[in-house]
Structure 1
Amino acid sequence: MVDWKWSLLMAKRDLRKTGGRLILFVSAIVTGIAALVAVTSFGDNLSKDIDEQAKELLGADLSLEKNQPIEFPDLEDRAARRALEVNFASMVYFPKVGESRLTQVRALEGDFPFYGSLETLPAAGDGEFRKGGKRALVEKTLLAQFGASVGDRIKVGNVTLEIVGALQKVPGQNGITATVAPAVYIPMDQLEASGLVQYGSRVNYVHYFQFPEEFDLEALITEKKESWEEDKVRLETVQSQKESTGRSFQNLSNFLVLVAFIAVLLGCVGVGSAINVFVKEKLPSVAVLRCLGVRAKEIVFVYLVQIFIMGLFGSLLGATAGAFLQFLLPLVFSDFLPVEVTVQVSWRAVAMGTITGVLISVLFALIPLLKVRKVSPMMTLRPDDPAAGFGKDPLRWMVLLAILLFILGFSYYLLEEWDQTFWFTGFVVFAFGSLWLLAVGIMKAIRKFLPISLNYPVRQALSNLYRPNNQTVSLLATIGLGTAMIGTLFFIQDQLLDEVRFADKEDQPNMLFFDIQTHQVDSMKAVLAAEGLPVLQHVPIVTMGVAEVNGLTKQDNEELEEEERRSNSMYNREFRVTYRDTLIATEELTAGKLVPFGKSDSIFVSMEEGYAERNNVSLGDEVVFNVQGRPLTTYVGSFRKVNFRRVSTNFLVVFPDRVLDNAPKFHVLITRTKNDQESADLQNLIVRQFPNVSVVNLSMIVETLEDILGKISFVIQFMALFSILTGVLVLISSLLISKFQRIRENILLRTIGASRNTLLRINALEYLFLGGLAAGGGILLSVLAAFLLTRYVFEISFRMEWGPLALVFFLITLLTVILGWINSTSILKAKTMDILRT
């Protein structure tokens, strides 16, 4: 039995002497716990606000959307209020500056939104807009881009409208959406006059309904859902909007918590390493206690109580910091959020962070603490290594298993998906294991192969990497993993930006015109020719749906057994296809061949391989398309791999040339201009002569994507900062705690004649080697992680980017050297006689 009273008393007495140093040990977890509590609180508040603001996200109880005009007369009598929105992509021209921009035009009729409001500056702008007439509401980001203000005018198609309000908030729209597709609201009575809705135009009709509180909306959906699916009507309710938004941002919250959790793990590795040094310093005292008859488990309990107290202190401090830190997160993520996030303390998050910090501190401290059990009373007379045979200690392996189970369980608690949990846990284990093996391998290699011919400071610095109280393993694990996270971030960011950074190349198109009607094609080409610009691509696009697959209609498919049934998504989807007999730069034929029209009695189409695989389509399958009311029987003749991440005219289905010549269609023309000014002039010219034609400036698309990626990059860097900061704290605490051993070594060297400069060189070189190894190991991990992510997640080609990696390597190594040098100067201030007397 353990004498609890004696153990607690001893822990209290020893804590008075060593408590300050234990605070250094545990300070490493403060940052991680702060990040964990902050993002968990943020996630809890976000979920709560999504629940409370779900109606404002949709703006109605029910929305029904279709790409063709449709009426719902049976709902008008049941609904308390209704509204209609007709939205489409179109160019908006700013006469004040003579420039235009592709926007999302929304013609509105009715009092939508029924929940929330269209927030405008001035506040009276919404009321002015509701009066109808030639008035418009314009997204504030769009006004800022062109230096426009309320009172200015814009041209939408054939009509010129006065800007009566700057849109501050649109239901369900966040900052990123506003950047990509800024909204312009116009009254419904101006839609026809604009001339933008013509036969073949890509238009969405959205009907919004508000029902009385007692109305049974679920019963209505059950009654009408099948017929709406038949008519290809997309429905959205408050509940479905809440669930989809919640899922999207739950993934964000989970990612943030996992990043914070990694920071916690980094800190705990530092704690384990620091406790290892702490235990080594206590071994003589432990040996004395063993001589006095104190049992090993009682001594372990004494130090375990100290670790528990300090872990609790650090966790509470981190939780308090996290409660204040959460005030920053809504500002950091504001561009990604469609709701206003309230800030309040989540006691669940505080409790979880505190418990996590204490538990993980104790678990990681147990590994070095268990060595105390191996201390013999004879150690008071002769040096002994309590770690001898420690590798075979079953308790050690039980603790390691407990740590692994904790990581696995906590990851599953966050992710709620076993496959993601195993991948994340596997990565953590692999990363720590790789860095540990690197550290052990380096130490053994130096011990065995260190050349005696090296000059003394270099040889001494290298020897310090494996001598007692070295920090090689802990620094490689903590700084290395932090480096890996930052390196992976920079690597992936550059890879993604390089994928879209093609519009500035001389051999690539940079202007795309779409929604061109058939009768306008020749006129458009004439304008381009007059400007001396080539037509690089002319792409006709036909809209159609699927009626049958292998003789089975949607109804037939639903009557099949579940294992034989294919997804209804193929029947419900609206396809936009083109016709040609050749591949383009973003396509690669993977199976079958392109069969030109007339070479066979049948029509053979080419399908994107990923889409075909998801819908169980095989070569030779019969697919009957409904081409705007007329059936067209085809057969799958080939599969293509398509790079949809390139801004190009990519299609799921491609027909042979000439098959769809007589089908209703719209056209896309692509050209290349020499510079931005020529692009702007051409864009304005086209908008004035062809108001219905939309222009995409691919250079602007690239700038927009870079802006979005920059925001995402900032968010990831902000979270990765916690890991780096944790690593720095671990580095500082590790260096300080090894200070006492380094003092003895340096004093002995000074006693035998070593100069101050020599000692400084030894210490600087030691930390140079440590920082370089840690940064190098982390960069190797980042290269591997970036390769796997680019190959299997983003599915883009992998390219080595040496610039960002070299910068990360230099900064991490420099930081380690600076901190080590600062610590070395304080060590060298110690007086020789004071240490010798001790």
Structure 2
Amino acid sequence: MAWRDAKASKVRLLLFMASIILGIAAVVSIQLFSTNLKDNIQSQSKTLMGADFIIDSKQKPTERAQAIIDSLKPRAKEVNFVSMIAFPKNGGTKLVKVQGLEGDFPFYGKIETQPSLAADTYQTSGGALVDATLLLQFNVQPGDSIKIGEIVLPIAGALKSMPGNSAVSSSVAPPVVIPYGFIEATKLLQFGSRKEYQYFYKASDTLNLKRLEDKLETALDLENADLDTHTSTTKRLGRRYDNVGKFLNLAAFIALLLGCIGIASSVHIYIKEKLRPIAILKCMGASRLQSFLIFLIQIAGIGIIGGAIGSLIGVGLQSVFPYLLKDFLPFTLEISITAQPILIGVFLGLFMSVLFALLPLLRTWYVSPLDVLRVDEKASQEPQYIRFLVFGIILIFLFLFSLWLIKDALYALAFVLGTMLTFTMLALVALGFIKIIKRVFPKHWNFTARQSLLNLFRPNNQTVVLVVAIGLGTFLISTLYFTKDILLAKTEVGQTAQNANIIILDVQPEQREAVVETIKSKDLAVLNNIPLVTMRMQSINGRQVNDIRQDSTRQIRGWLLNHEFRTTYRDTLTASEELIAGEWHPKLAPNEPVSISISDNLAADAHLSVGDPVVFNVQGVLMETTVGSIRKVDWSQIQLNFTIVFPKGVLEEAPQFNVLTTMVPDESSSAALQQDLVSKFPNVSIIDLRQVFTLVDDILDKVSWIINFMAFFSIFTGIIVLIGSVRTSKYQRIKESVLLRTLGAKNKQILQISAFEYLFLGLLGSLVGLILALISSLCLAIFVFKEPFIPSAIPFIIFLPGITLLVLAIGLTNIQTVLRSSPLEVLRREA
């Protein structure tokens, strides 16, 4: 019976199946991708680092740290720093990451160069390996030369890839690798220079890296050094991509939920039409179980087939993800197919189809033989407790499935509650709309308009289901567009005299006046001339930092115990700062203690408040200070912000260097200024913010493309649900339209009635979805990004009219049979 009935209703059942196929495809593809990503990170962990473990220090290792380093016998070492380089061939300049390398690093993986021999010979030949993209950008080839500080080296080869370097960081500061012995000759490592010393090790098979890390971590921590093993680095990398996977999983889950809503709504209409045949079957002796199983078998079969098809599509999508994420992964993703996600897809198809169709399916259980005479809207209602029980099972399943995806009970609960809130708001809007139409029904409107409005609350209406399906899809993709615009707005730099787009770092005191003159000679203004003094905390609230480090019960955050603070001194607050506690001290008064201002995040991490004492070690000189004020700092503003600010009259004689900023009008002016500064002052570093923002825009564009790609599953699933729901209501609408034809209605009137009905539904659903997206995006802008919110016009221009017209087009196809044939022919055909 299940098979025979399914053959007679195959079109509608295929639409049920289509509702879940894309959701299953999204879940399976993401699960396979996450599995492949974790396996690749695990298998390539040593290749990613190039060594078994590394000891690194942000300064030249202390005597004690060097003793530990030497005792472990490093096989390679590196010092790296960011600096400007120049190409004598054409005068081009660029901010790069200079890596001075000695030894046979990497021990795993390899340095890929063009020509390939350059990776093996550059140390003995005394050449440089320069990022391949950088060579193309400046039209330079191997054999040409590169100027790094005070020395000029031949370019031995183009550097294509190297363990430890990521695509994103290389885009900001492309790598230039030179022999370690040339670093001192560059004369670039001066006072204030940011540098990192790294020592690479290859461990024996018997060495327990976890035990080594636990043993040396505290000793190295005291010497401002750190030990990283390939396993710990892999865990951090895995956690970073776990967040991406969680987001993609939730996006896929939303697509699956939309499909399930489509199944529930479609089965609801489908079963309602089958109530009379079920009552007849029971008159002929069919039991409750038999009538229930007929349709349960149909839905279960749809779920299994849909899950299998969705799983196959998800497997096919695996080839897309490595292409989408290649710029974010520090390795080549190797794809392998496992059976587990495919089995999960088939199981989800079966389980979720049955679960979400259970409520309408239960109506078959409660159909009585007498209903053959009196099937109506109120007949065969399941008991209230059964309905609540089914809803409870659905909510529990959603929570457990979310917990399995994101591995966090609080986030899973928040996601389920948020999803239910969105569904509830959309449903309430639809129900409220129905009540408003009933209460203020426009009786004076013409016949066709009244009929279309009546269809919105007549028996078998699809108002609530369609508004929820259309609204949720519109809500999701519109929120993604609005959020993307908020993120992009944070990176915009207005071309005004107040916005610096060139930052000049590491300017030594004896160079300061000459650099200023060089900038002014280009008819450019010096916008900021900021002194920087480096120091470390010696004691906090009377406790020595060394004692705090060894206290396992400390509440002070560990980062600031080893941090080298770059502080400044000035007499005014900047536009990105707001005083929230204490009193601002612009200048040190005679015979008064040194009163400093700290940022709110430092105050929280160090458990400091106004009046607390802090002692700093300023290049060997101890300085006692008191917290005079606490500032709220907007770190998102594009300017130099500081955690610690001293008043004037304290640090002027301390060893320091300067940061200067200016604003250039175009690319040619920027190039000319950089070439002049690098030729005169090889040690300074120049950051062109225009290039940084171009990079950020490019990254955000790629991220938003990936987000939109995942949102496609949700919106397209929503469209299929929409088609299924509207097409399922076709059979009820056909009977009504035939009756109207019999009573004398013309084709034009029937067309107008359907057109108005679906126009109202499409417009209401997409409009409510857009309004909810606006509200959620406004909350994100205010509470998360703290940015002004300017909505994108794309959802209003494309989604609002586009989805409305789509609903209208689908609805009008439903009545083509009525318009083309006579009433009697239609009734016979549908029967």
TM-score (norm 2): 0.95
- Counterpart in 1 of 2:535? 544
- Counterpart in 2 of 1:142? 134
C-alpha distance in structure 2 between counterparts of 1:484 and 1:265, whole Å: 14
The two structures, once aligned, show a CA RMSD in angstroms of 2.3
Give the CA deviation at 1:78: 5.7
Does residue 112 of the first structure (1) align with residue 105 of the second (2)?
A: yes
- Counterpart in 2 of 1:220? 212
Does residue 784 of the first structure (1) align with residue 782 of the second (2)?
A: no
Give the CA deviation at 1:559: 6.5
* Structure 1 residues 181 and 249: CA distance shift in structure 2, 3 A: same
Q: Per-residue displacement from partner, 1:181-205 (whole Å, max 9, x unpaired)?
A: 3222222233223222122211111
- Counterpart in 2 of 1:393? 384
Are the counterparts in 2 of residues 129 and 136 from structure 1 also a CA contact under 8 Å? Answer: yes
Gaps of 5+ in 2: none
C-alpha distance in structure 2 between counterparts of 1:161 and 1:761, whole Å: 79
- Counterpart in 2 of 1:595? 585
Q: Per-residue displacement from partner, 1:216-237 (whole Å, max 9, x unpaired)?
A: 4444333322221011102211
* Structure 1 residues 219 and 801: CA distance shift in structure 2, 3 A: closer
C-alpha distance in structure 1 between counterparts of 2:605 and 2:754, whole Å: 60
Indicate which of 742, 751, 756 corresponds to 1:751: 742
C-alpha distance in structure 2 between counterparts of 1:774 and 1:141, whole Å: 48
Are the counterparts in 2 of residues 151 and 164 from structure 1 also a CA contact under 8 Å? Answer: yes
SS in 1 for 2:96: strand
Indicate which of 41, 45, 51 corresponds to 2:42: 51
Give the CA deviation at 1:836: 3.4
C-alpha distance in structure 2 between counterparts of 1:410 and 1:566, whole Å: 37
- Counterpart in 2 of 1:6? none
SS in 1 for 2:345: helix
- Counterpart in 1 of 2:706? 715
Indicate which of 90, 93, 96 corresponds to 2:83: 90
C-alpha distance in structure 2 between counterparts of 1:412 and 1:449, whole Å: 45
C-alpha distance in structure 1 between counterparts of 2:137 and 2:751, whole Å: 56
Does residue 252 of the first structure (1) align with residue 251 of the second (2)?
A: no
SS in 2 for 1:131: helix
SS in 2 for 1:828: helix
Does residue 672 of the first structure (1) align with residue 659 of the second (2)?
A: no
Give the CA deviation at 1:516: 0.9
Q: Per-residue displacement from partner, 1:201-255 (whole Å, max 9, x unpaired)?
A: 1111111122222234444333322221011102211111111011111111111
The within-5 A match list for 1:387-466 is 393-466=384-457
The within-5 A match list for 1:7-156 is 10-70=1-61, 74=67, 79=72, 82-133=75-126, 135-156=127-148
Name which of structure 1's ranges 113-122 and 806-815 shifts more when overlaid on structure 2.
806-815
C-alpha distance in structure 1 between counterparts of 2:23 and 2:34, whole Å: 16
C-alpha distance in structure 2 between counterparts of 1:426 and 1:94, whole Å: 58
Q: Per-residue displacement from partner, 1:421-445 (whole Å, max 9, x unpaired)?
A: 2221121111111111112222222
Q: Per-residue displacement from partner, 1:460-499 (whole Å, max 9, x unpaired)?
A: 3333222333332222222222211211111111111112
Give the CA deviation at 1:590: 1.5
C-alpha distance in structure 2 between counterparts of 1:824 and 1:44, whole Å: 47
- Counterpart in 2 of 1:335? 327
Are the counterparts in 2 of residues 84 and 205 from structure 1 also a CA contact under 8 Å? Answer: yes
Give the CA deviation at 1:826: 5.6
Does residue 199 of the first structure (1) align with residue 191 of the second (2)?
A: yes
Indicate which of 796, 805, 813 corresponds to 1:814: 805
Q: Per-residue displacement from partner, 1:134-185 (whole Å, max 9, x unpaired)?
A: x222223333433444444433223333333333223243332332232222
Does residue 516 of the first structure (1) align with residue 507 of the second (2)?
A: yes
Give the CA deviation at 1:448: 2.8
Q: Per-residue displacement from partner, 1:757-790 (whole Å, max 9, x unpaired)?
A: 4333333333322222121121122122213323
- Counterpart in 1 of 2:162? 170
Give the CA deviation at 1:800: 4.1
- Counterpart in 1 of 2:357? 365
SS in 2 for 1:607: strand
Are the counterparts in 2 of residues 756 and 828 from structure 1 also a CA contact under 8 Å? Answer: yes
Give the CA deviation at 1:115: 1.0
C-alpha distance in structure 2 between counterparts of 1:411 and 1:217, whole Å: 35
C-alpha distance in structure 2 between counterparts of 1:354 and 1:800, whole Å: 40
C-alpha distance in structure 2 between counterparts of 1:836 and 1:439, whole Å: 32
Are the counterparts in 1 of residues 371 and 379 from structure 2 also a CA contact under 8 Å? Answer: no
- What is the one-letter code of the residue matched to 1:578? T
C-alpha distance in structure 1 between counterparts of 2:766 and 2:137, whole Å: 42
- What is the one-letter code of the residue matched to 1:597? K
Are the counterparts in 2 of residues 371 and 386 from structure 1 also a CA contact under 8 Å? Answer: no
* Structure 1 residues 698 and 138: CA distance shift in structure 2, 3 A: same
- Counterpart in 2 of 1:290? 282
* Structure 1 residues 192 and 831: CA distance shift in structure 2, 3 A: farther
Does residue 577 of the first structure (1) align with residue 570 of the second (2)?
A: no
Does residue 381 of the first structure (1) align with residue 373 of the second (2)?
A: yes
* Structure 1 residues 118 and 381: CA distance shift in structure 2, 3 A: same
Q: Per-residue displacement from partner, 1:263-285 (whole Å, max 9, x unpaired)?
A: 00010000100001101110111
Q: Per-residue displacement from partner, 1:705-735 (whole Å, max 9, x unpaired)?
A: 1111111111101111111111111122222
Are the counterparts in 1 of residues 503 and 687 from structure 2 also a CA contact under 8 Å? Answer: yes
- Counterpart in 1 of 2:761? 770
C-alpha distance in structure 2 between counterparts of 1:709 and 1:619, whole Å: 40
Q: Percent identity?
A: 39
Are the counterparts in 2 of residues 266 and 727 from structure 1 also a CA contact under 8 Å? Answer: yes
* Structure 1 residues 505 and 705: CA distance shift in structure 2, 3 A: farther
Q: Size of the alignment, in residue pairs?
A: 826
SS in 1 for 2:374: coil
Q: Per-residue displacement from partner, 1:341-395 (whole Å, max 9, x unpaired)?
A: 21111211112222222211111101222233443333222343246865x6111
C-alpha distance in structure 1 between counterparts of 2:822 and 2:145, whole Å: 79
Give the CA deviation at 1:334: 1.0
- What is the one-letter code of the residue matched to 1:535? V
- Counterpart in 2 of 1:326? 318
* Structure 1 residues 262 and 642: CA distance shift in structure 2, 3 A: same
Are the counterparts in 1 of residues 534 and 565 from structure 2 also a CA contact under 8 Å? Answer: yes
Are the counterparts in 1 of residues 367 and 380 from structure 2 also a CA contact under 8 Å? Answer: no
TM-score (norm 1): 0.94
* Structure 1 residues 356 and 81: CA distance shift in structure 2, 3 A: same
* Structure 1 residues 558 and 90: CA distance shift in structure 2, 3 A: closer
Give the CA deviation at 1:635: 1.4
Find runs of 4+ consecutive structure 1 residues off by over 6 angstroms: none
Are the counterparts in 2 of residues 137 and 167 from structure 1 also a CA contact under 8 Å? Answer: yes
Q: Per-residue displacement from partner, 1:90-132 (whole Å, max 9, x unpaired)?
A: 1233445543222222121112111111122332231232334
* Structure 1 residues 193 and 732: CA distance shift in structure 2, 3 A: same
Give the CA deviation at 1:792: 3.3
The within-5 A match list for 1:660-739 is 660-739=651-730
* Structure 1 residues 180 and 817: CA distance shift in structure 2, 3 A: farther
- What is the one-letter code of the residue matched to 2:559? S
Are the counterparts in 2 of residues 80 and 211 from structure 1 also a CA contact under 8 Å? Answer: no
Name which of structure 1's ranges 198-207 and 448-457 shifts more when overlaid on structure 2.
448-457
C-alpha distance in structure 2 between counterparts of 1:77 and 1:535, whole Å: 47
Are the counterparts in 2 of residues 267 and 478 from structure 1 also a CA contact under 8 Å? Answer: no
C-alpha distance in structure 2 between counterparts of 1:588 and 1:400, whole Å: 50
C-alpha distance in structure 2 between counterparts of 1:95 and 1:451, whole Å: 81
Are the counterparts in 2 of residues 28 and 726 from structure 1 also a CA contact under 8 Å? Answer: yes
